[in-house]
Every structure is written in C-alpha cells, then in structure tokens.
A = this chain, B = another copy of it.
Amino acid sequence: MNVKEYLASSSNQIVLSHFDADDQSLAPEGKKESKKELKSLRKQLVKLQQVLYAESKHKVLIILQAMDSGGKDGTIRAIFDGVNPQGVKVASFKVPTPLENAHDYLWRIHQKVPANGEIVIFNRSQYEDVLVVRVHELDPEKVWKKRYEEINKFERMLANEGTTILKFFLFISKEEQKKRFIERLENPEKQWKFNPGDIEERKYWDAYMEAYQDVIDKTSKPYAPWYVIPANHNWYRDLVISHIIVKQLKSLKMDYPEPVENIHQYLDPLQNS
C-alpha cells in the first residue's frame, strides 16, 4: 500500500478543498477483503507493541485530530483492539480546565507524552490551540501565530529524544458529518455522544478547514509528519492508519533485549528452591 499521497510534505501539498473523503483507491479489493488485511495488521501491531514494551527504547506518539464525529474514538477502538492495554495509553484533551488554562498550552500536553516502551494516543492535542482557539478567536492572532513554530520545535525535541511521532487528520466531508449527527440523534445507544454545541460548531466548518490547512502546511515535518486520511468510510480509515503505524514500527527494527548470560547461574539454584 503506497500511502504517500496522504502524506503532507514539501513535495506533496495536500489541498483540503480538493481532498476526497470518500477515496478508497488504495484498497481496490474492497471492504470485505480489507477486513482480513486489517486483522492481520492488528496482529502485527500486537506483536510489535510487545517488542516495543520489552525493548523499552523507543517512544511512540500518535496524534488524532478530526472534526466532530470524524471517528477518533472509533479509530482507537478498531486499531488498538487487542493490544496490551498496559503499554498503550490514551490521552484525551478536552476544553482546558482552569488549572490547565493558567499554564502555557503545552503544559498539559507535555505531561502525557510517551515514555520508553510506551505508545500514547492523543485524542485531540496541542493542535487545538491553533484550531478551535483560532476559529473562535480565544487568543489574539499574534499569540496563536507563533504556535506553529513552537509546536515544531517541541516535536523536534521529542523526536530528538527518541519519540516516533505520527499525526493523522481524519478527514470527513461536511455531508458525512451531517449523516453522522443524524445517526447519533436517532440511535438511542449513540445519543449520549450528541452535544447540541456540535451543531453550532458545524457553522464554522470553512474556518476550520482553513485552520487545518495551515496546520498541515506548517507543521508536517519528516520527524512528525501529518497524514490526511480519507475517513468517510471507517473500514478504509482503519486500514490505512493501521498500515502506516505498522510500517513505521517495523522500520524501528526493534528486538527483544539481549539474552541473559549464563542462565544456569539462575536455573541451578532455582531447581533446588
């Protein structure tokens, strides 16, 4: 699977207004076949996480951003189903608390970054401070404008210190969002996810797209790339993201720690204990 077209880079500018949220071009075999593929990727991920944890040398940070109903929760469930919960942490960044707001915007973020051997998934992230903050003018432009570069510097430092960073923007169309909101309202088991504020927020769709475009243009770096994922179809979204994560983890060439030397020094006394 060649996911390069979804990777934002200096040689591949992704223009959101022309991006197809329905795209399924990398899975010509279709939804049914892809389920097997996803299952296989998930199994690989389970194994890779085990080595990552055992080796305890690399840190992995996965950032998920999306518009409301874009599928962040579903992605986490679909991809990390079966991965040892002990080595995977999810950090959700909601509306900042007064204590968080009394600090710089990276303060609460920094506390949640992965340690050696850990995978941490950010459900929303530092990018909210150049998204919702920009769209609703919660801070003046001269303040949020500086943040792109600050975030780059911050992520550069994390990468220098051994963190693998992958950033995913789950891209759904405005029409798809409408469908999902209606489904939430009409399905009793999903209604609790409905928030009247989401409909208000929907009015700012274009402003958000502009803000996301800037994020992707300014903060996709080789050490912390942005992937824009066609996300109208959940199965396709899960397949592509799993593929990218598995490929990246494989490239770390991890291995179990060196074998214990002379195991008999331990085995022999054990036998008599």
Contacts and interface: CB of A to CB of B under 8 A. Distances in A.
Nearest to A199: B266
A85 B83 contact: yes
Interface residues of A, number: 45
Contact of A273 (B54, B92, B202): B202
Interface stretch (A17-25, A131-139, A149-157, A184-192): A184-192
Contacts of A80: 85
A231 B185 CA distance: 46
Contacts of A28: none
Given A85-B83, A123-B86, A188-B256, A270 B194 contact: no
Interface string A188-211: 110111101001001100000000
Contacts of A144: none
Interface in A221-242: none
A273 B86 contact: no
Contacts of A54: 192-193
Contacts of A88: 85
Interface string A91-108: 010000000000000000
A202 B269 CA distance: 11
A192 B82 CA distance: 21
A185 B260 contact: yes
A133 B188 CA distance: 50
A77 B73 contact: no
Number of copies: 2
A256 B123 contact: no
Given A178-B273, A260-B185, A86 B82 contact: no
A263 interface: yes
A196 B269 CA distance: 12
Given A178-B273, A267-B185, A86 B81 contact: no
22 contacts: A54-B192, A76-B85, A77-B84, A77-B85, A81-B81, A86-B90, A86-B92, A178-B270, A178-B271, A178-B273, A181-B266, A181-B270, A182-B267, A185-B266, A185-B267, A186-B263, A189-B256, A191-B259, A191-B260, A194-B266, A196-B266, A199-B269
Which 10 residue pairs of A and B lie closest in terms of their CB atoms, listed nearest first? A54-B192, A192-B257, A86-B90, A185-B263, A80-B85, A77-B84, A81-B82, A192-B256, A85-B90, A76-B86
Interface of A: 50, 54-55, 73, 76-77, 80-86, 88-90, 92, 121, 123, 178, 181-182, 185-186, 188-189, 191-194, 196, 199, 202-203, 256-257, 259-260, 263, 266-267, 269-271, 273
